[in-house]
Structure 1
Amino acid sequence: MDALVTGRLIRTDGGCLALESGAPEPSIVLFPFGTALAPDGRSADVPWYGTVREGDPVDGGGGYVGPGALADDTARAALRDECGSERVVAWQQ
């Protein structure tokens, strides 16, 4: 799952933080352990990176997880229904 993670942090209509990177749909961000989300849901304090806000560019290591990797149909449906996307990006240092 090693990949370069780049894009712009957005907030989906469902209120999820996602990465817009030119793909057909945004990727919901799986933040590293220790990340604190702001109460308003528009920013996150990432331990080794600092605070990222809606609209900020994001880059680093990690990997993308396509819908096929989510074997659980319930998990896929929940992501689609709540966040508007089945794509996930794990953002790591």
Structure 2
Amino acid sequence: MEIDSWFGCLKVRACPWIDGKRIYFNVQSFAPGQSIEQPPALDKTVYVTDDEAGRKLVYEFTDSLANHVAGMQIEPGREITLTAQRK
């Protein structure tokens, strides 16, 4: 399953990653009045472990995850993998 949609002011793309173990999750934001043809003002990517809990996080709580990722401080070149836990 893939996501390529807007959630509020955030553009979200999610899809299974090529390694088969993670889900690619990208969040972009554009400045007010900015053309989407220009590079986004915010562009952050994380990976989510591709298991039942991870798929639920990505596909059922997309808006909350997108807002969380947008607020994360990610160093350039650093790869982040999030793992969701079920209780």
TM-score exceeds 0.5:
no
Structure with more of its chain in helix, by fraction:
2
Structure with more of its chain in strand, by fraction:
1
Larger Rg over CA atoms:
2
With structure 1 as the length reference, what TM-score do the two structures score? 0.33
